[in-house]
Every structure is written in C-alpha cells, then in structure tokens.
Structure 1
Amino acid sequence: MLTDPRGLRELTADEALRRLGGVPVGRIVFTSNALPTIRPVNHRLVDGAVVLRCHGGAAVLGAVGQVVAYEADEIDLASRLAWSVIATGIAGEVSDPDELAQLERLVEPWLAHDMTHTIRIRPQLVTGFEVIAADQPTDARHPPPMGESMLAQPG
C-alpha cells in the first residue's frame, strides 16, 4: 500500500513535447463510424509534429482529415510516478515525395506490413501532467530538474 502521497504537476507545452519525443509509442484517438477509436502506434516527433506510418488497410487511415488526440505516457508502477501528454491537432497524410522519403527514413515501423502511408499530426494544443512525490514543487514555472527517462528503455 502506498503510504507517501503523490502530487500532480502540470507540464509546460515545451516540456510535454520533449517527453512525447522521448518515447517511441503512443495512442492515437480518432472517430470511426461516429465512435471513439484508439490505436497504439509507434511514432517519431519531427519538427514538433507527431509522425507515424501505416499500411493501406489500417484503421488509423480513417483519422486523416480529422481532429485527433495523440497520447503518450510513462508509468512506473513500483514508485507510482508517471507522466502523460496529449497533443491535439488535425491528422494529415504526407504526400510530397521528398518529404515522404525523409520521414520514411526517420520512422521505422514495428509491424511487418508494407507501410505505404505516412500520417502527420501538427499539434495545435499540447497538455500534460506529471504525478510526482508530494515534496516536489507542483508549479510548472519551477519544474524539478529533468533527468533520464524514469523508466528503463530496452537495450
């Protein structure tokens, strides 16, 4: 049982984007058949935009042209420390051949499919929060020092 209370600290937009760029996987939230749909995908933050690739039959292609939310987080179950970021913007399919070639080199798909589509989300709103130890400051203007990612990344 957790005996030490936790606090909640709002992240600045810049800090939230840094954290989003520091993890390889998130979830895209969009509407499909008038219902909310969530898909886990790997991504890369490129020039402040979330970029992902998908195959021709992927449900996430239905998000193109929609306002979407993209969420990523890290949660340490042992310490009960965590953060979560949500970037909201319009999902667009990248069609410029030169840009596609560059993004295809940067975003390596995890699935064994022919990933022929590249989707970019240019965030118009970025929010985030961090669950912190109660003795840390909760004011986003005075964040605690950022160190390595709190969860070990696979080697």
Structure 2
Amino acid sequence: MVHDDSRPAPVGPRRRIELDGAEALRLLGSVSLGRIVFTRHALPTVRPVNHVLDGGDIVIRTHEGAALTSRTERAGDPGVVVAYEADAIDPHTHLGWSVVVTGYARLVTDPEDLARCRRLVRPWVDQAMDQVMDQAVRIRPDLVTGILLTADGHDAPARV
C-alpha cells in the first residue's frame, strides 16, 4: 500500500509535551507494533516487532537463532540493554506521540511464563518452518520517555 505523504503538514503553532512514564507506557500499550533496537556486531540494529505490555514489561516473540534471541539467553546475566520505540504519528498533520523505553531484555525461560507469553503475543510475520516463533523476550523498562506532538493549545494525548 502506497501512501501519498507529499502534502505538507498544516502550518501553525506546535508544541512538544513531555509525558510522564505512566502515560507513556499507557500509550505504548495502546498500539501493538513497535521497533526494538539492540547491538549486533557492535552496531545498532532495529527490528519491527509486535508487543504486549504484561505486568509493566514489554513482551515480544522471536525465534531460536534470531539475533536478539542469542543476545538475551546468557544465564546469570541481567540481560542485554535494548531500546524499544512505538508511536502513533499522523502522516499528514505530524501530530501524535512517541515513546521510547530503555531497559534490559531477557529471554523467557520459565516454561509457564513462556506458555503465557505465547498466548499473549501472536507472531505477525509467518516464518519459515525452521524459524518457528517459539521464544519470547521480556523487556523490563528502566527508563521511559515519551513526547506528545500537538497543535498549540491541545494538551490531551491523541487517542489513536
């Protein structure tokens, strides 16, 4: 699907409002797609994924052998530092919100928790038979930031 984003954004006063952590997480939980950022071969790597919020953690699905899976499965390790970003920004008005969570990602290894995560998050990409999305990763938020991009005079977060 091709979107025509050639129209300029409406001109007018704009504001950037910093969101508190609770509101930022609420907005992140209102969408199902985001982007995870992690280090691979000493360089930043970004992957689009779907997610759910579960007990304050972000949960995503992955598969055995995925770059992120191999980075998060070290026993006794607090996990790997990642960033997770989700947003809802209107392509025409350029208004909406963006949230970034930084924290430790760990592979879910407890069988009961893994079964629960599998029920909560359905993979949105069909994988080849050798890449079954049977793993889950939990991201424990340590730093949560968010911004609301609004036309001047509008303080309420967009319900998109």
Q: TM-score, normalised by structure 2?
A: 0.83
Cα deviation, residue 147, structure 1: 6.3
2:62 to 49, 54, 62: 54
Cα deviation, residue 57, structure 1: 2.8
Distance 1:125 1:84 in 2: 14
Percent identity, aligned pairs only, is: 50
Distance 2:71 2:61 in 1: 13
Give unmatched runs, 5+ long, in structure 1.
138-143, 150-155
Distance 2:57 2:105 in 1: 10
Count of aligned pairs between the two proteins: 142
One-letter code aligned to 2:69:
L
Question: Which deviations, in whole Å up to 9, do the C-alpha atoms of 1:80-131 show, x marking residues without a partner?
Answer: 2021101111000011111111111010001223112110001011000010
- Of 74-83 and 35-44, more deviation after overlay is shown by 74-83
Match of 1:35 in 2: 43
Match of 1:128 in 2: 146
Match of 2:86 in 1: 72
1:102 to 116, 131, 147: 116
Residues 1:118 and 2:136 aligned together = yes
Match of 1:20 in 2: 28
Match of 2:100 in 1: 86
* C-alpha contact 2:97 2:158 (8 A) present in aligned 1: no
SS of the aligned residue for 1:60 comes to helix
Distance 1:8 1:63 in 2: 35
Aligned-pair RMSD on alpha carbons?
1.4
Give unmatched runs, 5+ long, in structure 2.
1-7, 73-78
Question: Which deviations, in whole Å up to 9, do the C-alpha atoms of 1:9-37 show, x marking residues without a partner?
Answer: 00110000001101111011111111011
Distance 1:63 1:57 in 2: 10
